[in-house]
Amino acid sequence: MDLTSRQDKIINIVKDNEPITSLDIADKLEMSRAAIRSDLTVLTMLDILAAKPKVGYYYNEDREELKDIEKLFNLPVCEVMSMPLNIKENISIYDAVVSMFLEDVGTIYVIDENEKLSGVISRKDLLKISIGQTELKKTPVSLAMTRMPNIITIKQDDTYFEAAKRISLNKIDSLPVITDEYKVVGRISKTNITNYIVEFDWEN
């Protein structure tokens, strides 16, 4: 929410003079107390200012930390995602396992002949089919993958928080990042989400 310039002025007055009464704030702005009442209500409701009865208004320091968290949560997925590992539907289970190790990813995305997302294959999908199948070099990944339209995806300009929410609610490890044409351009995983918290440029 954008603040008005008067609300910004009030915040600065409170920062420099806390605790300060509404009357003193109004005096500094050369306005009446009634004129700034609604601004004070808004700023208190937003937790930017805190009011103590008979003492006055304080600036809520915790607010700065919240700003960082807000910034992190609203980051676009494209800033956090990593490169996807995309394979064709006819690739064998055996080769998918090898690729998973070589590329060090936990989930592989499967694309069709038009390069559109058609499936997702996880570590457990590969383990499961490996138990019952001996012909792993001849069995295509398409037999073991979770298919469209059951795939939970995300777009590059969706937020970090939305990605975290979809991963958590659907109990999965990662989301393919797709374009409007269902091309897979990235991957966002539990690891990306966790690492970004550690690497984030915290100001507070």
On whether the CB atoms of residues 105 and 122 are closer than 8 A, the answer is no
Taking the least distance from each CB to ligand ADP, the nearer of 71 and 123 is 123
Taking the least distance from each CB to ligand ADP, the nearer of 47 and 115 is 115
Residue nearest to ligand ADP (CB): 124
Task: Tell me the closest approach of the beta carbon of residue 186 to ligand ADP, in angstroms.
Answer: 12
Structure token pair of residue 55: 């003492």
Cis geometry, peptide bond prior to residue 149 (ω within 30 degrees of 0): yes
The residues that touch ligand ADP, with contacts defined as CB under 6 A, are: 106-107, 120-125, 146, 150-152, 172-175
Task: Tell me the closest approach of the beta carbon of residue 110 to ligand ADP, in angstroms.
Answer: 10
Task: Tell me the closest approach of the beta carbon of residue 154 to ligand ADP, in angstroms.
Answer: 9
Taking the least distance from each CB to ligand ADP, the nearer of 68 and 173 is 173
Structure token pair of residue 104: 């060090």
Residue indicated by tokens 């002025």: 9
Taking the least distance from each CB to ligand ADP, the nearer of 42 and 172 is 172
The length of the chain is 204
Task: Tell me the closest approach of the beta carbon of residue 177 to ligand ADP, in angstroms.
Answer: 10
Helix (H) or strand (E) holding 191: helix 190-199
How far apart are the C-alpha atoms of 164 and 154, rounded to whole Å? 10
